[in-house]
Amino acid sequence: MDIQITVNLTCQKCGNAYNRTISLPPDCAPPSPDSLKSCVVCSGEAPVPVPWTEKEEVKRKRTAERLKDWRDKNKVWARIDKMLRRAGVEVTKAAAVQFTEKWIAKVEAIGDTCSFCVCPCDPETFQFWRDPAGDPLDPRSYWPVCAGCAGRKRAEVRWKKAA
C-alpha cells in the first residue's frame, strides 16, 4: 500500500507557493525539495530537452551530403564496397586497392557483356553475383551480370537452400 506525502513548496521561477501530494511505495524515500523546483504552470512553459543540438544536426547533414557526393563520383567503387560489406568483409584500404585492381582487370577481360548471357551491360549499371562457395575477397568469386541473370542466380541459390 502506497504512502501519500504532501509537500509545501515554492516555485523558483514565479515565487508562488504550492502543495504537491506524492504517492510513494513504503520502502521508498521521499524526493528532495530541490528536485521539485517549479509549479505546474512554469513546468509547462519549460523547453523540451532536445537530444542533439543544431550544430550536431548540421554536422550530420554535411556528413551525409559529403558521403552522397563521394558515392556519386565513385559509383563503381561504392558498389564494390557495398558488395564486400554485404559479404561480411571488413574492408581495409590495402585490401580494397588490391581487390579493385583485380576486379577491373576481370571486367576488362570479360568486356561489357553479361557473364552468363550475351546481352550487353553498361559497366556502371551491371550487378554483381558472388558464388556462395567462393572467397568474398577473391574477385574470381564475383561475376558482372545483367539484372535478369542476377535474379535467376539468386533464385537458384534460394532454391538450393530450400531443398
For residues 79 and 130, membership in a common domain is answered with: yes
**Count of structural domains within the chain:** 2
Regarding whether 63 and 13 lie in a shared domain, the answer is no
Q: Which three cell numbers stand for residue 53?
A: 543540438
pLDDT digits (tens, 9 = 90+) for 71-123: 888 877 787 777 778 777 777 778 777 877 877 777 777 777 888 887 877 76
How far is residue 146's CA from residue 122's CA, in Å, rounded to a whole number?
Answer: 9
Of the listed ranges 16-20, 41-45, 57-61, 125-129, the least confidently predicted one is 41-45
The domain in which residue 25 lies consists of: 3-45
Q: Are residues 72 and 98 in the same domain?
A: yes
Phi and psi for 18 in degrees, rounded to 5?
Answer: -150, 160
pTM of the model: 0.43
- Judged against a pLDDT cut of 60, whether residue 48 lies above it is answered with no
Same domain, 33 and 83: no
pLDDT at 125 over 70: no
Q: Is the domain of 97 the same as that of 80? A: yes
38 and 90 housed in the same domain: no
Amino acid 84: pLDDT: 77
| 33 and 107 together in one domain | no
What span, in angstroms and rounded, lies between the C-alpha atoms of 144 and 112? Answer: 9
On whether the CB atoms of residues 67 and 77 are closer than 8 A, the answer is no
Cell of 116: 552468363
Q: Are 148 and 138 in contact (CB under 8 A)?
A: no
Q: pLDDT of 1-35, one tens digit each?
A: 677 878 777 777 777 787 777 777 777 777 776 66
For the chain, strand residue ranges (E) read 3-10, 17-24, 127-130, 142-145
Q: What is the pLDDT at residue 69?
A: 93
